[in-house]
A and B are shown apart, each in its own frame.
Chain A
Amino acid sequence: MNTMNSTVTSNNETTEAPAVPVQDERPAETIIQEGVTVGSPYADDPKFKLRDVEVFYGESRAIKKISLDIARNEVIAFIGPSGCGKSTFLRCLNRMNDSIDICSVKGELMLDDQNIYDPKRDVVELRARVGMVFQKPNPFPKSIYDNVAYGPRIHGLANRKSDLDDIVEDSLRKAGLWNEVKDRLDATATGMSGGQQQRLCIARAIAVSPEVILMDEPCSALDPIATAKVEELIAEMSESYTIVIVTHSMQQAARVSNRTAYFHLGHLVEVNETDKVFTSPDHELTESYITGRFG
């Protein structure tokens, strides 16, 4: 944390010392109050109701008392400098942190008023409702068809082969991939381009009819054209799904999201309408970040 403070101050001193607002010289720790988020973090009848969430990796606290509501059918973007905990927080929403032995989660995390971290909670059912798309496209080394059919098969969503065919076609159409792959559904998925692979992963996620889709920097490994396609897709999907997207690209956050949440050193600093965050943020750290003073 001290390093972060010192970079902020040293940047100010060297490059734009005269124009610096006085409060920027205070350490970030005093600017951020634990558990306090400026803006509008809460919503009526939210999909996710998250209160005082803390995540520990062993002894170190990666997420510090974050409270946030995620509304139904909204696209919310998590932004913030590297290591600020946005991915960690995202992975709490479908308990993907479970596979890390030393990771523990505290606080109240509710999906439709059911506790996500209830010990009796069926993780399989949770993850069927909360799908996820990862940073690097990770298609299984199987055929395109089998990749999409994977989820429906393990959840028993199709009774007949024809049902499964329908689900696969429908998912691929929704992911905007059908016309590109309909003639080679049996081809191996790892032979596709990076952008196609990522859209296949999205198709794979929507094949189990989730309610929420979590996206962890889905375009960071893609070229601009593939990125544009995925962003288009996100806009289309926002009609039927709640989407949480972690991104390092502020332009992307501005393009695709309704609300934007700014994370800093494990704190949730500000949540606001995306337009507001990128035009007149309420918090000075948010402003510093979006104007590129650090991050």
Chain B
Amino acid sequence: MQTANLLPLILVIAVIAYGLSYMRSRAVAEPIGGIRNLKALPFYYAARAALWCAIPALIVLALWAGFEGKVIQNYVVASLPAELAPESDGQASLILSQINNVAAGKLDPQFVPPEVVGAADLLDALKQRSASFKATLVILLAVLGAAYAWTRVQPHINARENVERTLRWIFFVCAAVAVLTTVGIVFSVIFETFRFFGKVPITEFLFGTSWSPQTALRADQVGSDGAFGIIPLFTGTLLISAIALLVAVPVGLLSAVYLSEYATRPARAVIKPLLEMLAGVPTVVYGFFAALTVAPFIRDLAERIGLEASSQSALAAGLVMGVMIIPFVSSLSDDVINAVPQTLRDGSLALGATQSETMKNVIFPAALPGIMGGILLAASRAIGETMIVVMAAGLAANLTANPLDSVTTVTVQIVTLLTGDQEFDSAKTLAAFALGMMLFIVTLALNVVALKIVRKYREQYD
């Protein structure tokens, strides 16, 4: 039986176990004076039965699915006669794929040695035996588990504790998935980064002022050796992020002040969702808005006042990115400003302070750590943003502080390094991982700082 069919079958058995145990627990409760005299509610007995039924079966199923292929393959390879036994890993995988293809009927048996055909038959037989054995074992486990739990439906046994403990493990596993994924990503990036630093010295990477990742494909090819200095990329990133924050922080903060302190209730009910909608606009839409509308406008404006401007400028990307992250600043600031207790406002107003004095002297200082947290989150969003910059700021890795020049950022370079057909062991593609690593460190640091600040803020006025 296929794994796909086993899953619903286990589910059905679990449901049956649930129902039977539920009925049994009520029946058991009857003679001793109702379910109040059971150690746990019928639901817990039933849930425990379902868990006993499903969890061992599922674990065995998962292990089987994980190791079945490997075990069978090893067995088949071992069965090959000595003259065909593979000498290297490459040969082994070649023979294995031959065997697999013959077994699947994709390869005509007459093109391969008869030993391979024999191995293919063996593979088929093993697979069938394994499948039927697996199905029997899993179903048996499910039924046995259910039956065991069913017999354990007894008034003096506390099923609630078992269920609670199992649920805690299930929740823990779910939480672990997110953590393990992060760890996995970090380790794969770290690994590739070290490979990159094997090809390019870390000092050149960190302190080089020129970025030009094109390397020669062959030794005799004319072309540059590539330059992997990340300084221009980080300057570009910082320039654009700084422009974005210059837009987003004042606008977002002041709009948060308006929303929380001055706006009437109906105005707030309309404006706040509209503002937060900005965060829902896909960044690619912001990107072509920046590239097609804002960037040419800035170029024309700059030319009119006698400045030289590139048609793709850091300023255009930064401005639009700033608009994009306004809701991050405003929404979080609005929340922290609202969290400042009304009694503090009253205290200040009752002393004769005006609304803006109250804002400036009491509410803002009390909310500042939270606001800083919001700004740092917006900053890490700006640093990680890619699409707007790809479209509006260009790809030229200029080392410049002039916002009218075109610049490029770390994220944009990662995109250009890895898109298209690439070989995954050249310095060029590995550079992407090193860049990702640097970016990860920077945004992680920002997030840690932001979280620290937010946590500190919680202790402020209690």
Q: Which residues of A contact B (CB under 8 A)?
A: 94, 96, 99, 101, 123-128, 131-132, 134, 136, 138-142, 150-151, 154-155, 190, 201, 204-205, 208
A96, A101, A142: the one contacting B365 at CB < 8 Å is A142
Q: How far does the alpha carbon of A138 sit from the alpha carbon of B358 in the complex, in Å? A: 14
- Per CB-CB distance, the 4 closest pairs between chain A and chain B, nearest first, are A138-B343, A127-B352, A132-B350, A128-B352
Contact assessment for A101 and B264 in the assembled complex, using a CB-CB cutoff below 8 Å? yes
Q: How far does the alpha carbon of A161 sit from the alpha carbon of B412 in the complex, in Å? A: 55
Q: How far does the alpha carbon of A142 sit from the alpha carbon of B462 in the complex, in Å? A: 13
Residue numbers in A under 8 Å from B343 (CB-CB): 134, 136, 138
Residue numbers in B under 8 Å from A151 (CB-CB): 351-353
- Sorting the interface of chain B by its residue count into under 10, 10 to 19, 20 to 34 or 35 or more gives 20 to 34
Residue numbers in A under 8 Å from B354 (CB-CB): 124
| Nearest-Cβ distance from residue B361 to partner chain A, whole angstroms | 7
Interface centre among B343, B350, B460 (most CB of A within 10 A): B350
Q: How far does the alpha carbon of A123 sit from the alpha carbon of B348 in the complex, in Å? A: 13
Residue of B nearest to A127 (CB): B352
Q: Given the known A-B contacts A150-B361, A154-B357, are A138 and B344 also in contact in the complex, defined by CB atoms under 8 Å? A: yes
| Nearest-Cβ distance from residue A49 to partner chain B, whole angstroms | 22
| Nearest-Cβ distance from residue B369 to partner chain A, whole angstroms | 11
Residue numbers in A under 8 Å from B112 (CB-CB): none
Contact assessment for B461 and A94 in the assembled complex, using a CB-CB cutoff below 8 Å? no
Residue numbers in B under 8 Å from A139 (CB-CB): 347
Residue numbers in B under 8 Å from A208 (CB-CB): 351-352
CB pairs A–B below 8 angstroms (5 shown): A127-B351, A140-B366, A141-B461, A151-B352, A201-B347
B265, B349, B353, B361: the one contacting A99 at CB < 8 Å is B349
Residue of B nearest to A102 (CB): B265
How many residue-residue contacts, CB under 8 A, span A and B?
71
| Nearest-Cβ distance from residue A277 to partner chain B, whole angstroms | 28
Among B354-409, those with CB < 8 Å from A are 354, 357, 361-362, 365-366
B345 beta carbon closer than 8 Å to chain A = yes
| Nearest-Cβ distance from residue B45 to partner chain A, whole angstroms | 46
Interface centre among A101, A125, A150 (most CB of B within 10 A): A150
Q: How far does the alpha carbon of A134 sit from the alpha carbon of B341 in the complex, in Å? A: 13
Instruction: Give per-residue flags for B316-344: 1 if the beta carbon is below 8 A from chain A beta carbons, else 0.
Output: 00000000000000000000000001011
Q: How far does the alpha carbon of A124 sit from the alpha carbon of B350 in the complex, in Å? A: 9
Residue numbers in B under 8 Å from A124 (CB-CB): 352-354
Residue numbers in A under 8 Å from B462 (CB-CB): 190
Known pairs A131-B351, A154-B351, A154-B357. 4 more at Cβ < 8 A? Answer: A99-B349, A101-B264, A131-B350, A201-B347
Residue numbers in B under 8 Å from A94 (CB-CB): 350
B164 beta carbon closer than 8 Å to chain A = no
Q: How far does the alpha carbon of A140 sit from the alpha carbon of B265 in the complex, in Å? A: 26
Contact assessment for B344 and A140 in the assembled complex, using a CB-CB cutoff below 8 Å? yes
Residue numbers in B under 8 Å from A138 (CB-CB): 341, 343-344, 346-347
Residue numbers in B under 8 Å from A154 (CB-CB): 351-353, 357, 361
Residue numbers in B under 8 Å from A96 (CB-CB): 346, 349-350
Q: Given the known A-B contacts A142-B365, A154-B361, are A99 and B348 also in contact in the complex, defined by CB atoms under 8 Å? A: no
Contact assessment for A150 and B351 in the assembled complex, using a CB-CB cutoff below 8 Å? yes
Residue numbers in A under 8 Å from B265 (CB-CB): 101
| Nearest-Cβ distance from residue B56 to partner chain A, whole angstroms | 55
Residue of A nearest to B460 (CB): A141
| Nearest-Cβ distance from residue A119 to partner chain B, whole angstroms | 16
| Nearest-Cβ distance from residue B104 to partner chain A, whole angstroms | 72
B341, B346, B351, B361: the one contacting A204 at CB < 8 Å is B351
A127, A140, A142: the one contacting B350 at CB < 8 Å is A127
Residue numbers in B under 8 Å from A204 (CB-CB): 347, 351
Contact assessment for A155 and B352 in the assembled complex, using a CB-CB cutoff below 8 Å? yes
Residue numbers in A under 8 Å from B344 (CB-CB): 138, 140-141
Q: How far does the alpha carbon of A138 sit from the alpha carbon of B365 in the complex, in Å? A: 15
Residue numbers in B under 8 Å from A141 (CB-CB): 344, 365-366, 460-461
Contact assessment for A99 and B352 in the assembled complex, using a CB-CB cutoff below 8 Å? no
Residue numbers in A under 8 Å from B362 (CB-CB): 140
| Nearest-Cβ distance from residue A59 to partner chain B, whole angstroms | 16
Q: How far does the alpha carbon of A205 sit from the alpha carbon of B352 in the complex, in Å? A: 10
Q: How far does the alpha carbon of A190 sit from the alpha carbon of B345 in the complex, in Å? A: 16
Q: How far does the alpha carbon of A128 sit from the alpha carbon of B349 in the complex, in Å? A: 10
Among B424-462, those with CB < 8 Å from A are 460-462
Interface centre among A94, A99, A155 (most CB of B within 10 A): A99
Contact assessment for B347 and A134 in the assembled complex, using a CB-CB cutoff below 8 Å? yes
Q: How far does the alpha carbon of A97 sit from the alpha carbon of B230 in the complex, in Å? A: 59
Contact assessment for B352 and A150 in the assembled complex, using a CB-CB cutoff below 8 Å? no
| Nearest-Cβ distance from residue A66 to partner chain B, whole angstroms | 22
Residue numbers in A under 8 Å from B357 (CB-CB): 154
Contact assessment for A134 and B361 in the assembled complex, using a CB-CB cutoff below 8 Å? no
Q: How far does the alpha carbon of A247 sit from the alpha carbon of B365 in the complex, in Å? A: 32
| Nearest-Cβ distance from residue B350 to partner chain A, whole angstroms | 4
| Nearest-Cβ distance from residue A37 to partner chain B, whole angstroms | 27
Q: How far does the alpha carbon of A118 sit from the alpha carbon of B341 in the complex, in Å? A: 29
Residue numbers in A under 8 Å from B351 (CB-CB): 127-128, 131, 150-151, 154, 204-205, 208
| Nearest-Cβ distance from residue B346 to partner chain A, whole angstroms | 6
Residue of B nearest to A140 (CB): B362
Residue numbers in A under 8 Å from B345 (CB-CB): 99
Residue numbers in B under 8 Å from A101 (CB-CB): 264-265
Residue numbers in B under 8 Å from A150 (CB-CB): 348, 351, 353, 361
